[in-house]
């Protein structure tokens, strides 16, 4: 009896002829015995070979997966960052992947398919598939978006935006495999050659150069993105990053001001500007930028950054006022309580400092908080209370996950 038939017979017997057994055997038969059964990702099962190897079977290793060749472009990528997902313009068992008739695989795709008119088993326009890929990538399903983009970049209708978005999937890949750097450059240069008037490819190249620490090169590409017929205003942010890393902070601030002028208020841009101003010790200007960021989008992290800046500027009471607003919304914010306690101590308001530290300890005891309260007790001459807090701090340092009570 053939090996796979033995497998099925054994499973069939083990299920004791139950209805579940019949269903499972039918599924196994469809999966294991029927020739040319297509997988859910649109490929046929079988060993991986590259398109070039399929054209020249003599060069294709039998039964082995082809690795990404050093010179492969994003459109001919076989393995690599996509890993075991099998995404790429592959040939399985000598059958070339047909992106137009295959099913678009996406683990949570039903809603996305309906939104973009992409239904499995139907002829779908290139534009619809590209929109679906954009949707997936924006929602951080990078590998699923890449799965769609790679075959699209092989079509005659491919565009610069497709190659740019493909490069973006490698740039934003959480694994950030350095082996993909050549891939990214090739994809972006292909996008630039397809449409030199589209600033997006130049902007992403500037982004990639910044990630590689090539700040002067990034400035060149950022300027091209800004001067392109289809300007990508996000290039101003890349210029700010480059200038900042080159120590040219004033020019970085000007780049952020230009971004605000062309794109409107943005909390993240105001925050970036405030940090640069703070680095230059221009505290009043930094405080104003932080407040603009909070006005655009109120976030706890930005409020704490503003408080820190006010602290550096010696404006303790003003910083306490900001934290009072925060604690009015969330009275049990242990971080805000600890910050206010430190500011109160600097502002000579010892009762407030002790009260805030004690409440913060009750909410989330840490050795740091116990040490800070011990220092205040010691300054007040309360040595016994200070000793108790120091003992609790040592206990937490020894066993950080144990609560002191």
From 11, 51, 60, select the one nearest 32 (Cα to Cα).
11
H or E stretch covering 48: strand 48-49
* All residues at 6 or more sequence positions from 130 whose CB lies less than 8 Å from its CB, including other chains: 148, 149, 152, 159, 161, 162, 165
Mean pLDDT of the chain: 78
What residue ranges define each of the domains in the chain, with the CATH number in brackets? 1-34 (no CATH), 41-195 (1.25.40), 315-405 (1.25.40.10)
CA distances from 252 to 255, 277, 293, 302 (A): 5, 10, 17, 20
Token pair, residue 34, equals: 């029927």
pLDDT at 157: 87
For residue 193, the Cα-to-chain-centroid distance in whole angstroms is 28
Average pLDDT over residues 236-249: 97
Percent of the chain residues topping a pLDDT of 90 = 63
pLDDT tens digits, 391-403 = 999 999 887 666 5
pLDDT band at 299 (very low <50, low <70, confident <90, very high): very high
Residue 365: strand, helix, or coil:
coil
The crossing angle, in degrees rounded to 10, of helices 249-263 and 235-245 is 170
Packed helices 350-363 and 334-346: angle between N→C axes, nearest 10 degrees: 160
Between CA 387 and CA 405 the distance in angstroms is 17
Neighbours of 405 (CB within 10 A): 7
Sheet-wide strand order for 91-92: 48-49, 91-92, 95-96
Residues facing 309 on adjacent strands: none
**Could you give the CA distance from residue 129 to residue 103 in angstroms, rounded to a whole number?**
11
Q: What is the mean pLDDT of residues 83-112?
A: 38
**Mean pLDDT in residue range 128-138:** 93
Q: Which residues pair with residue 174 across a beta bridge?
A: none
List the one residue out of 53, 56, 81, 73 whose CA is nearest residue 65. 53
- Lowest-confidence pick of 82-86, 239-243, 395-399: 82-86
- What pLDDT does 48 receive? 32
The residue with tokens 């294991």 is 32
The DSSP call for residue 44 is B
pTM > 0.85: yes or no: no
8 Å CB contact between 136 and 127: no
Q: Look at residue 3 and tell me whether its pLDDT is greater than 50.
A: no
């Amino acid at each position: 009896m053939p090996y796979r038939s033995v497998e099925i017979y054994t499973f069939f017997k083990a299920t004791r002829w139950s209805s579940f057994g019949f269903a499972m055997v039918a599924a196994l038969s469809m999966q294991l015995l029927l020739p040319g059964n297509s997988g859910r990702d649109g490929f046929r099962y079988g060993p991986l070979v590259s398109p070039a190897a399929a054209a020249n079977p003599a060069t294709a290793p039998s039964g082995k997966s082809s690795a990404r060749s050093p010179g492969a472009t994003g459109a001919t990528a076989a393995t690599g960052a996509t890993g075991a997902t099998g995404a790429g313009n592959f040939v399985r068992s000598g059958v070339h992947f047909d992106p137009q008739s295959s099913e678009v695989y996406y683990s949570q795709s039903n809603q996305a398919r309906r939104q973009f008119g992409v239904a499995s088993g139907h002829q779908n326009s290139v534009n619809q598939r590209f929109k679906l890929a954009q949707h997936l990538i924006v929602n951080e399903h990078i590998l699923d978006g890449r799965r769609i983009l790679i075959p699209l970049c092989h079509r005659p209708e491919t565009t610069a935006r497709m190659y740019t978005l493909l490069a973006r999937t490698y740039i934003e890949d959480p694994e950030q495999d350095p082996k993909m750097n050549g891939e990214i450059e090739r994809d972006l240069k292909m996008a630039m050659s397809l449409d030199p008037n589209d600033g997006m490819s130049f902007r992403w190249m500037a982004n990639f150069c910044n990630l590689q620490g090539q700040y002067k090169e990034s400035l060149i590409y950022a300027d091209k993105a800004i001067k392109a017929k289809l300007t990508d205003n996000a290039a101003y942010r890349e210029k700010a990053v480059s200038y900042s890393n080159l120590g040219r902070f004033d020019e970085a601030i000007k780049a952020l001001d230009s971004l605000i002028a062309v794109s409107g208020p943005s909390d993240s841009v105001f925050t970036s500007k405030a940090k640069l101003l703070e680095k230059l010790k221009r505290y009043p200007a930094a405080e104003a930028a932080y407040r603009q960021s909070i006005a655009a989008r109120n976030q706890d992290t930005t409020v704490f950054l503003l408080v820190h800046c006010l602290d550096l500027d010696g404006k303790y009471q003003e910083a306490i006022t900001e934290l009072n607003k925060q604690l009015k919304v969330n009275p049990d914010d242990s971080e805000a309580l600890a910050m206010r306690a430190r500011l109160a101590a600097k502002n000579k308001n010892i009762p407030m400092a002790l009260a805030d530290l004690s409440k913060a300890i009750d909410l989330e005891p840490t050795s740091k908080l116990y040490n800070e309260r011990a220092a205040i007790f010691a300054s007040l001459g309360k040595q016994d209370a200070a000793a108790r807090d120091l003992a609790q701090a040592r206990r937490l340092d020894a066993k950080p996950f144990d609560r002191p009570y």
